[in-house]
Structure 1
Amino acid sequence: MIIPLPHTTTGEINRQIIDSRKEGGAFALGRVMTLVIDATGADADYAIDTANVASREHPCRIIVMAPQDGDEDRLDAEIRVGGDAGASEVIVLRPSGEQVNHADTLVTPLLLPDAPIVAWWPAGVPANASETGIGKMAQRRITDTKGEENPGDTLCKLSANYRDGDTDLAWTRVTRWRALLAAALEQVTDRAVSKARIHGDTNSASILLLGAWLQRNLDCEIELTYDDKVAGIQHIVLETPSGEIGIFRPDGHNATLTQPGQPEHVIALPARNLGDCLAEELRRLDADRVYGEVLASYKENR
């Protein structure tokens, strides 16, 4: 159910939420956090659909800032509940005019009391997320450097302004790659990696972060190669005295793991969708300091 609220106020929105609970039951019970989405420059409906997928694992209140064009100082909104909100309740704020510059003021009255706040920017990575109006109130701040025109420069800016609670979905996308590489390396006799070769799509922040992680942990040479015609990471090879360890995923679904002295193994390694990545980041509210250290390492060695 979608309840439109044209030319409204945050007070009226809260009253409408209470009325909706009386009519449809206490659907807000059990919400574990507030997820605030700054959808400026993004497809707001796609961001909402993604958040709804993640909310099935993490029931939450979703507040979406989706500014609209126009000079008139006004706030339009809508409330989505039931089938239109997954396991959440969704509040979409569409400010215009001067109200666009007061996102934190609009969001604050709608936050769940005594619940953690997570902020997500699905597009337009802020240079300093923790200093934005929404970022200041959030325990966790999630950006996404995928699609940035110059991801290397963006990662350097994120490193310079990193604060505990920051993370990026480009980092989340390589979680399974990192786990597989660590497990494979445990099984070789001599783990001194001399070189790591990574091949994948052009302008991939995930490849840059994965390379920085390997360099930081293995103190090895990194070779990155790219192909405009592929999507995602295609393969990683670690050169060790015992032989090469390789993970090859040419089809974006299944990967072949090769290790010295062992038969090849085919493992499921599908490209992760946005909902899965967001759900993973919502599982933790503590600082991802490994991400912060990898960012610093990337900036230092660039």
Structure 2
Amino acid sequence: MTTLWDTTGSAVVKELAAQRRTGGAVLSGVALTLVVVADESRVAEAEEAATHAAESHPCRILVVVRRQLEAPAPRLDAEVLIGGRLGPGEAVVMRMYGRLGLHAESVVLPLLAADAPVVAWWHAAPPEKLATDALAVFAHRRITDSSIAEDPLAALRTRAADYAPGDTDLAWTRSTAWRSTLASTLDSVSGRRGEPVAVQGARVEGDAANPTAQLLAGWISSRCGCPVSVEDGGRKPNSSGVDSVALQLDQDEEVRIQADRRGGAVISQPNRPDATVALVDRPLGDLLSEELRRLDRDEPYSEALEAATGVSGLAGRSPEREHVWFDPADNGSSSRKRAAAKTADA
């Protein structure tokens, strides 16, 4: 590992090339570039998750930490690692101070792995409009996490309003185990009947303020075309925010999946004894690794997000984003000046 203090983007590129020559062609089989945007308080957690994901998806890891945008002078501190704490591949951790943080792409773009897709992951509060961050504009896939926002449900609605194909949310990824269990259970009921099962209604119990519970309810509604309610349960659910799911079927039958305290769930279905399946909380690295398996648009997510938020037409939007310059230090002064100028001209 080499630490470069008060350096430049060109020096980081040169140091990475020098270490590559010394260590050999470490990333000849790189699958993608993972750009991680993290708050300083979450850097260690983000690095651990990215390292775990890189074990399954060989990638170059670029960690961007924007610090002290109000600093009087721009500054870049960088750690360049090959075969270090971030796994066997290449990684750069960049801490940007002052106005440089608003132009992070100027440092990141030269560091992207050649001819490899780019995935951007915000382990921090993302901007309300991703297009205001150039890192989102050139990324092929964009991963956010509504669950870590101060108001998760408001963040979910923001992501729907700003959605473009290629976006996804780790709140959605946390519902994978529930979705798989529900789908396999309904397949089992259909197999015994010898005909498809019609779901006439559903109820999700747990934490109604958790975006995962809302997205799971949206997925059931979009797939089954039935009303789904989300209700606060009596127990404190796991990170998914889901304690149980009940599906009302035709022929006056019900399927229920109830989480237990031991990292599993009990499946109750018609004409069969109860069964137990694993339903454990997954670490952040597993969630990130799942999202890196696909680089195309996630249509089930967009359909679930539509149903959960009531915002329609998500799948028909363009996957291309055009960068919108946004200066957080401006505080609207430029807008006021433009408005004043128009008034004076009139």
Fold similarity call, TM over 0.5: yes
Q: Where does residue 6 of structure 1 map in the other structure?
A: 5
Instruction: Give deviations 1:42-90, integer Å, cap 9, x for gaps.
Output: 5112101110000000010111111233332111111122141214321
Q: More displaced, 52-61 or 265-274?
A: 265-274
Matches within 5 A, 1:117-266: 117-188=118-189, 189=193, 191-201=197-207, 203-227=209-233, 229-231=236-238, 232=240, 233-242=242-251, 243-251=253-261, 253-266=263-276
Q: Where does residue 113 of structure 1 map in the other structure?
A: 114
Matches within 5 A, 1:85-100: 85-100=86-101
Q: More displaced, 168-177 or 84-93?
A: 84-93
1:22 and 2:21 are equivalent in the alignment: yes
Question: Shift in Å at residue 101 of structure 1?
Answer: 0.8
Residue type at the aligned position of 1:56:
E
Question: Shift in Å at residue 238 of structure 1?
Answer: 0.7
Give structure 1 stretches of 5+ with no counterpart: none
SS at match of 1:293: helix
Structure 1: how far apart are the matches of 2:7 and 2:65? 15
Instruction: Give the conservation status (yes or no) of the 8 Å contact 1:130–1:163.
Output: no
TM superposition score normalised by structure 2: 0.82
Structure 1: how far apart are the matches of 2:290 and 2:64? 22
Q: Where does residue 72 of structure 2 map in the other structure?
A: 71
TM superposition score normalised by structure 1: 0.93
Q: Which one of the candidate residues 307, 326, 340 is aligned to 1:297?
A: 307
Structure 1: how far apart are the matches of 2:150 and 2:208? 10
Instruction: Give the conservation status (yes or no) of the 8 Å contact 1:35–1:120.
Output: yes
Question: Shift in Å at residue 246 of structure 1?
Answer: 1.3
Residue type at the aligned position of 1:229:
K
Structure 2: how far apart are the matches of 1:40 and 1:240? 46
RMSD: 2.0
Q: More displaced, 281-290 or 130-139?
A: 130-139
Structure 2: how far apart are the matches of 1:51 and 1:201? 28
SS at match of 1:182: helix
Q: Which one of the candidate residues 279, 289, 297 is aligned to 1:269?
A: 279
Instruction: Give the conservation status (yes or no) of the 8 Å contact 1:52–1:88.
Output: no
SS at match of 1:121: strand
Instruction: Give the conservation status (yes or no) of the 8 Å contact 2:125–2:148.
Output: no
Instruction: Give deviations 1:76-126, integer Å, cap 9, x for gaps.
Output: 111122141214321011111111110111111111111100000012033
Q: Where does residue 318 of structure 2 map in the other structure?
A: none
Q: What fraction of aligned residue pairs are identical, expressed as a percent?
A: 37
Instruction: Give the conservation status (yes or no) of the 8 Å contact 1:130–1:141.
Output: no
**CA distance 1:87–1:197, shift in 2 (3 Å):** farther
Question: Shift in Å at residue 151 of structure 1?
Answer: 2.3
SS at match of 1:283: coil
Structure 2: how far apart are the matches of 1:95 and 1:202? 37
Structure 1: how far apart are the matches of 2:295 and 2:79? 28
The higher radius of gyration belongs to: 2
Q: More displaced, 181-190 or 105-114?
A: 181-190
Give structure 2 stretches of 5+ with no counterpart: 313-346
Question: Shift in Å at residue 169 of structure 1?
Answer: 0.6
SS at match of 2:116: coil
Q: More displaced, 85-94 or 47-56?
A: 85-94
